Structure 1
């Protein structure tokens, strides 16, 4: 008697409905992570490289390394 009082669960289309919800959620989360990585990692890194190479003198750096004895074939 008690089992007849319970409503039958809706099974048709259940997987499709759950997948639709999870795919949308996964897309939103992945888009958020991509935006976070771009602005928290990539942009500061590009700015740091640009700042470094703006005033970088390769010949001066080479001479400092040569004087320090980094290169074995150059005296």
Structure 2
């Protein structure tokens, strides 16, 4: 009886060790690639543009997405 218990114990240990040795880990890689150049931003890109007239600095907003000016030139104090 003791030989059978010892045999099963050794068999259990061998199966446990052999099942954990061959495990390979791989990082998940999606099957497709997301291309961001086809997407446009959800909001417009707006920048401040500056110019000097008669030594005074003015600013005006420019919508880069639609290529047009927003508002009028404002004097910067």
TM-score using structure 2 length: 0.37
Q: Which has the larger radius of gyration?
A: 2
Question: When you count helix as a share of all residues, which structure comes out higher?
Answer: 1
TM-score using structure 1 length: 0.37
Question: When you count strand as a share of all residues, which structure comes out higher?
Answer: 2
Which protein has greater RCO, CA pairs closer than 8 Å, 6+ apart?
2
